[in-house]
Structure 1
Amino acid sequence: MDWGLAGQIATLLAGGALASSAIALGTLRLAGPERGKLSAGNAPAAGSEAEGAVFLLRGEELLDATAAGRLILSRHPGAGSDLQRLLGALSPRFPTLGARLAELSERRRFDLAAADGSAWLEAEWSDGVARLRLVELHRGARRGPTGAMGAALLAELDELRTVARHTPVPIWRTTADGRISWANAAYLDLAERMSEAPGAACWPPPVLFEGLGPAATLAKGQRHPLTEAGTGRQFWYRCSAVELADGALYTALPEDRAVAAERSLSKFVQTMSNTFAALTVGLAIFDGRRVLSLFNPALAELTGLPVEFLAGRPTLHAFLDRLRDHRMTPEPRDYRSWRRNIAELEAAARDGAYSEIWPLVDGRTFRVDGRPHHDGAIALVFEDISSEVSLTRRFRAEIETGQAVIDSLDEAIAVFSAAGIMTLANRAYARLWGSDPLATLKGDITLLDATRTWNMACVPTPVWGDVRDFAAGLGERSAWSAEVRLRDGRRLQCRFEPIQGGAMLAGFRELDAAVEASPPRAALEGIEAGGVASRRA
């Protein structure tokens, strides 16, 4: 909106006549016929054209008007009664006309001077008909320019009125005492929407935006709500004003979308705040200037930093220095190393590559992750993994203890998972078959690899094929044993037992040459001389 144009619109439309003394100003949207539908037989005549602008009204209906009067009404098209159109045209010059007309039936007559002293209005009451006559003073002095200049001014006036009428933004002008002296069609439409009795237009229109500050303070605008009568819906506008010599010019820009966006953002922030508050990990977000812009309660609980300090929005360096003072960071060798660690942390967090385990002096362990955010911000996430680390250490100790136990056994033992991967073996197994214990931990040895190793070290026997079939079996399995002979002549007692989760345990024990092993039960048919196998039911 061009504010210079808006001021010119208001000045031309609310200030005075241009080409004709009968042109009343304003863009009040009023309607009705320009002339009442009354025959000459049942109403007095409006008067001769020499009398100027004369109007005959019965109630709010126009009965007759002179040519000058019709010209005035023709410049105020719109909806509304004839009286409302007339008030819209004359009220800018006669502000109290509406109130005086309400008393005309009792007083019978009154004369009213224009506010600027340029005219007066004669009003008479006779047999229920009001006769209004507009008398212009100093006609010669007030006559506007004629010819091409006058036509140009009238064309410009019509153009400005058209612009004001079709501008979708409510615009209105007030006098020095706050009364509305002019309003565009958008303002009048809005006033009708907000009215509890739509269709009952009046002049001056109601003040919709009450409570606005002085015009001088509204340069940047002031937000103001309006509530629609009947539906209760609320609409928001940002009102701005420009001071004029004899009042002010106001505009109201719709701000419903902006208000809805702000409310949505507020709800989102509230939801995120509630979510952050429920997190067990500490969260610290530093903006692009490395100032703490957001933190959750868990951060204060984990680090022991005062909430007042965090709420004071410290910098990243001040935050980490305070953590160091509270012994909540790994102890560096010296302060120079600490500052270097801070720089490395900031750089790694900016790239999303920072993830460190912080063992603290009080026995706790923190995992600290740095993650980049938009606009150069970074987020530090503090998680207390003391329980996880303690549990891992305990499991590791149990595994090491279990490994030490089976390493102390003379029997060579190997455990295969349901997928056929060797998951456990003791030292006796490594000595017997020459396998690498580290390969067991890496999961590089399969049951097929193991049976090939066993087959190469023993004389031919079908036992190893039975072992593979036994390990792959999906039904109920029973432990069984077999005897095989190594290529160097030693005999081995083998046992294979199913264990939980579909796994299998294989045990190998060397038989003493002086002791004859008892024959196995349920001997398998077709076993070669190199080995005898049996199954235990």
Structure 2
Amino acid sequence: MFAHRQKQQKKDSRLSRTLSLAASLLGSTFLAGNAVAQTTRISPLSMAGLDPANIVSFAIAAGLTVFSVAAASALVFERRKGQRQQAALLAEIAALKEAEDRIQLILGVEKQLIVSWSGRAEPHFEGDPSVAGAGTSVKRALAFGSWVAATDVAKLEAALEALKQRGTGFRLILRRLNGGFVEALGATCAGQAVLRLKDIGDERSDFLRVQSELNDIQCDLDAVIGLLDSLAHPVWFRDAKDVLIWTNKAFLDAVEADTLVEARERSLELLDRMAREESARRRTAGEAYEARVAAVVAGKRRIVDVVERLTPGGSAGIAIDVTDLEAMRSDLRRQTEAHGQTLDQLPTAVAIFDKTQKLSFYNAAYKSLWGISASLLDSHPTDGEILENLRTDRKLPEQADFRTWKAEVLSAYHAVEPREMWWHLPDRRTLRVVANPNPQGGLTYLFDDVSDRFQLETDFNALVRVQGETLDTLREGVAVFGQDGKLRLSNHAFAEMWNLSHERLAEHPHIDVVIGKCRELAPESAAWVDIRAAVASLPETRLGTTCRIERTDEVSIECMAQPLPDGATLLTFSDITASEKFAKALTERNAALERASNLRDLFVYDVSYELRSPLTNIVGFTQMLGSETIGPLNEKQREYSGHIERSSEALLALLNDILDLAGLDAGSLQLVPENVDIREAIETAVRGIEDRIAEAGLRLEFDVPDDIGAFTADGKRIRQILFHMLSGAVGASAAQQAIRISARRENEQIALSVADEGQGVSASIRARIFEGQESNSYDGGGHRGVGLQLAIVRQLVELHGGHIQLQTTAGNGAIMTCFFPTNLTGDVS
């Protein structure tokens, strides 16, 4: 058929050439006639008188005659030629039929199907469609997904698309879903895309099946090798002679080699010799080698888990780095121990049971709570055994049906959420028991002794009631407002003070409502703004405040607002009407006393100055008489003159003391600091009183070191202090007794002491002797004015920044010591 089509095409081609030849002849004739016409226009014939139109007609007729003759000749030639071709075509058709029979015979010998596509026309089929499976139709054969393996369908469809679009041939082996193989051959022929599907015989199918399985195995092997090579753990294979035949990249990195060849040439191994020998010995015995060993990985010492097993051709091994795991395990072990130590310090009893209900941990509080021996607890008893032991010792709550109660307690092992129980023990203790399921199984018991908590709660409730009753007995009004500004607590005095009903207060009104009710008694008071700010402001900005409220009934109320730690505010209202009246009276009395004191001081100054002037005259004239400059005196006159002089000097000293005491009380006395020689100051004071000492028949003893030195003080006042101390000792001493004056340095202080052997100072006088209120001598008799002198001594010593000390017992004399700092620190202004 294909040859017949080719011959028909050649015949058509020859006919076309014939027709083209005829058209060319016709055109030549027309051009010849036209040329003749053109020629006649300028030829001599036209000049001889011939008609040009006749000449053109003649030329056209001649051309047509020539064309007719040529066309007739061509038709005769073609007819004879067609007869010859027809005979040839009949012979060719017979040959084609014979060839078709042979092709059919060939196609029938092998099971195959040929599909051809010409452009967009429907595909043409030749052959046996059962190549796609028994009972398969032609259309089903083209539905490749119904009989070809899914992995091959995509390949076949992609190859067919390339064949149709670009004429790319292919050859594929397709696997049928029901078993067997089909060969798919794609090619182009005469502008058509041809697909031949040929069934493959059993022998070749077996070969292809084995080859396919081998390819799958090879792919799986490549995948496994790729996976092993991507592992971060070293992996290796050895042959029967224990020589490395393959390693992954992690192994090469671990031994610091670039290639396997380098590792073999340099004999680089991951494991040390002893580990390799032990592995070889185990493998020789047919056992797998599994161990945790130390190895040097990339120059660092690590801990690895090694597994090496026998293979058909040798052995294979892997090393897993567990250094971090070991570190984590160590940390976990230390944390567990620390956790156990922490739990052991808790007052709450803790017991942990594993999933087999055996005791795995207990703390000291658990052992102390139940009084169970350590030997029993360390034997890891079960939870049920411990309950039975505690029941025998009568330490568990009394139960009518212990078996049921025990089963209910142990059911916590199957619970999901923690369970809370309350156990009231026979010894009157109350335990809060929490059974918390562990994630890995088992239970954690927490035993909390809440007996003290119950007792504290009872005591707290009693305390609250006592406090409430106490508040109700107070005369001050008390109110507590919470953070929300609502009344939490109040007493009866608060309600009565502001005419508030108890029913209204029981509703816990807001501060604004309370203030609105209180304004009925004190509408004009601006203190309510401060009170509301103290209650309603933010806790961070609240401060305590005090304000005064004047009621319309002339009652004065003092309010104090104090923030509490919990954010609440305490308000206290006190009726200060009576206290204000009393304070007013005290203020008036104090003012009167101050005026009287001022008058007294003024009187003292005036009297002292007025008396000192004539007294100075008396002393002066007496001294002049005693010197007998104006005439001689008899013995009696001299005696009287001496008495007058001594009495005048004593009176003058008393006046000076009064002035000094007044100045000290007024704070106007000033010190003049200077360098005071201690021995010289003592001698000067002694000279002023040596007449009285001689008159009284007393002995004076000194205890002053030669190197006592000096110190900074007011020299005049130091001598005055010594004089008064000696004067007091003289007044307290009897005849033939001794007065001892001493000085010493101790602890950066100067201590000046005067001791006498008199009757001492009684306890009743000792408390007031330095206050200027006791005017008698130490023993209460004889000389007067001692209290005033000692008051001056005390104030002068304190003005120097020192202090005074009196050591005495009745009947055993007295020792008065004044301590001064080495540098003057008193008020010297």
The normalised TM-score by structure 1 is 0.47
Q: Give the TM-score normalised by the residue count of structure 2.
A: 0.33
- Report 1 or 2 for greater relative contact order, CA contacts < 8 Å, sequence distance ≥ 6: 1
Larger Rg: 2
Which has the larger share of helix?
2
